[in-house]
Amino acid sequence: MTGRVLLTGASGQLGQSFCQFWDSAEQDQAWQLVALGRDEFDLTDEQGMLTALETRQPDILLNAAAYTAVDGAETDSATAFQVNASAVDTMARWCQQHAARMIHVSTDFVFDGKATRPYQPEHATAPLGVYGTSKREGEKRLLEALPAATIVRTSWLYSEYGHNFVKTMLRLMREKDSLGIVDDQRGSPTSTHSLARLLHTLVTEECPAGIYHWNDGADISWYAFAQAIQRQGLACGLLHKAIPLHPLTTADYPTPATRPAYSVMDRSKALDLKGVEASNWEVELRRVIDALAMN
């Protein structure tokens, strides 16, 4: 199978990681990647999106763009729904009309966090805030217009690019004498590099459509993740001294948007795909921290 792949969100951390992996992967030269950032593919500009799609005529549309400001969405719901739902509907309908495939990246925030075991792809959704609701609405509109679409839900994304928890923690650990981190929210960190590898497989291989979950295999709290970040930051020289880290409750650290208390997702369906290997969260974290140390 060959064709043209249009990647949205190319300037984001996932988009940059996907482009990096695409350039390094051995693949049939008949595959062509067209990577577009917000300046070339703005999800708030419906006509501009349609013009870009008509001009590029992709065989596969990989949507890695999203409105991801979880707290900001509570006061800017119009933009969140425009980007995460309406734009997805526009892309899906174009793909349906042009017999193109669509792969869409979604989030653990579609769940309410009341589970005690990892969420399966078919588990009932119940978003807690505007961000999760807008992402779930995007999933629904995509599957209504394009039932053969592929959705990949992921969680706690980080990389050496952009803004994310890992980079924020490293900065604060250099600036502060001590730090408090929420310890009663559990989830699975996901390196954009491991997610990029999965998305590459979904693009280039004959994979069944449907909903997949992807993370790097952990079931930890933000506090435990921060502890690992400090350990690895010290080991590679990004940090020069350890500071005390203190566990907090969600009540100790209120935010505009409610976070799910438990958002671990079962990735076994994705691991069953040919060529997909299990990633390890500590190995993936070290890769990103090493990349940051080299910059």
Judge whether 88 lies within some domain.
yes
Judge whether 235 lies within some domain.
no
Report pLDDT digits (tens) over 84-116: 999 999 999 999 999 999 999 999 999 999 999
Q: Look at residue 150 and tell me whether its pLDDT is greater than 70.
A: yes
Which residues neighbour 2 within 8 Å (Cβ) at sequence distance 6 or greater?
Answer: 28, 30, 31
Q: What is the CATH number of the domain that holds 135?
A: 3.40.50.720
Judge whether 29 lies within some domain.
yes
pLDDT value of residue 24? 87
Give the integer Cα–Cα distance in Å for 101 and 47.
20
Judge whether 132 lies within some domain.
yes
DSSP state of 265: B
CA angle at residue 104 from 101 to 109, to 5 degrees? 155
Q: Domain of residue 268: give its range.
A: 4-164+190-218+264-279
Judge whether 43 lies within some domain.
yes
Report pLDDT digits (tens) over 157-213: 999 999 999 999 999 999 999 999 999 999 999 999 999 999 999 998 888 999 999
Judge whether 109 lies within some domain.
yes
* SS3 assignment for 20-77: HHHHHCCCCCCCEEEEECCCCCCCCCHHHHHHHHHHHCCCEEEECCCCCCCCHHHCCH
Q: Which residues are catalytic?
A: 131
Judge whether 226 lies within some domain.
no
Report pLDDT digits (tens) over 212-267: 999 999 999 999 999 999 999 999 999 999 999 999 999 999 999 999 999 999 99
Domain count, the chain: 1
Judge whether 12 lies within some domain.
yes
Angle between helices 281-294 and 222-236 (to 10 degrees): 50
